[in-house]
Structure 1
Amino acid sequence: MRLPVDFDGNEWFSIISLLIMFSLVLILPRRFPTIVSFVFLVIGSGTALFVDFHLGLPPVDLYDVNDLPLYEWFDLLNFLLYSPFAYVFLYLFDWWKPKGIRITWYVLAWSLAGVAYEWVSVTYFHLYNFSKGWQFGYSFAFYVASQAFTVWFYYMVKHCYNRTKNRAGPEWA
């Protein structure tokens, strides 16, 4: 991995976004058992890494992140940024407890927010380079699919945790 070619807007945008989002995670009241919180943080970055390795590298290679087509250290920060986004997504989902069509609206609203964040990061900070064929419409479709998967994953984790937890372990209602 390399250091950035220029330490400019995209690196600062990554650092500030990461600080804001992880600060939010830390100041939110505890909602999940510690192990569940950790799993929810990992799913965000894991999904981002999986997709990037399949769509952002040859042979598909639809976009670049940051200054170079090769990986930089700051690309790692961008992958870490998906962790607090996933956590906050599931935190609010667990707090609101949407049912039926409201789950769809929740996923669509977060998908639009994801595309809006991505648009700002591309337009003003050049965090991504879409000149290889990627489009914001693809991002929206990806966010819908990935967040629908994340909701399903939330229910599976909750079910497994409640079924297998130690009697002395914390409850997750």
Structure 2
Amino acid sequence: MNDVIVYDNRFNANEWFVIAMIVLGLLTIRVLPKKFTPTQTWFTLLTGVVFGLIFDHTIGVPPFDFYDVGDQSNYQLFDIFSYAMYVPFGYLFIYIYKRLGLKGFYTIPYIMIWTLMSVGIEWLCLLVGVFHYKHGYQILYSIPIYLFIQSIHLLLFHIFFPEHKQGE
């Protein structure tokens, strides 16, 4: 038996939050000086979405089913927009890393800072109703997930775009 949980049935704070995050993120990307090739740009933009989808469909669906996205426990059309919310973060994560010229040890605190920011954004998402935790899930459980995702994100960027190919 798969009962649908309805958290909300109006267009309100959670939808406006998602729209605001997408618009502000894309505007930020638009005004920043260009640092990447088109391939690198697409990689950084899409990586956030891909990681969001992977983890949403790993821990956010049965058998784990630790949280729901949006107004209902089943997926709705607007939930697709919530994945677009991740687009700017993937880009900005790599952009700032490259802009600061971080290497070696400095990568560790950078990932830790982004993990804390990610938990903060997730907390805001909880407050406005974008996410709804279930089955005892807590925000602290997201910390190792963010540490892992961001480490893999940087690793993949370095594998696919070694320094000598970046034209910097």
TM > 0.5 between the two? yes
8 Å contact kept, 2:52–2:86: yes
Partner of 1:117: 121
Which letter does structure 2 place at the counterpart of 1:119? W
1:80 aligns with 84
- Report if the CA contact (8 A) 1:62-1:132 is conserved: yes
Which residue pairs with 2:167 in the alignment? 172
Q: Is the 8 A contact 1:158 1:172 kept in 2?
A: no
**Residue identity opposite 1:141 in structure 2:** P
Contact 1:18 1:81 in 2 (8 A): yes
1:45 matches 2:52? no
Correspondence for 1:158: 161
Pick the aligned partner of 1:149 from 140, 149, 152. Answer: 152
Separation in 2, partners of 1:9, 1:70:
19
In 2, Cα distance between equivalents of 1:28 and 1:160? 21
The unaligned stretches of length 5 or more in structure 1 are: 163-170
Q: Which residue of structure 2 aligns with residue 106 of structure 1?
A: 110
Superposition RMSD in Å: 1.6
Tell me how far 1:90 sits from its aligned partner: 0.2
1: CA distance, partners of 2:64 / 2:142: 15
* Residue of structure 1 aligned with 2:134, choices 131, 154, 159: 131
User: Is the partner of 1:172 in helix, strand or coil?
Assistant: coil
Q: Distance in 2 between the 1:34 and 1:161 partners?
A: 16
Q: Does residue 1:96 correspond to 2:91, yes or no?
A: no
Secondary structure, counterpart of 1:5 in structure 2: coil
SS at match of 2:23: helix
More moved, 96-105 vs 153-162: 153-162
2:13 is matched by which residue type in structure 1? Answer: G
SS at match of 1:25: helix
Q: Which residue of 2 aligns with 1:10?
A: 14
- Structure 1 position 99, deviation (Å): 2.0
In structure 2, what residue type is equivalent to 1:58?
A: P
SS of 1:46's equivalent? helix
Deviations 1:9-49 (A, max 9, x none): 10010001110001111111110001110111111100110
What is the deviation of 1:161? 8.1
Q: Which amino acid aligns with 2:130?
A: L
Write the distance in 2 (CA, Å) between the matches of 1:71 and 1:160.
40
Contact 2:65 2:134 in 1 (8 A): no
CA contact (8 A) 1:108 1:144 kept: yes
1:59 match: secondary structure: coil
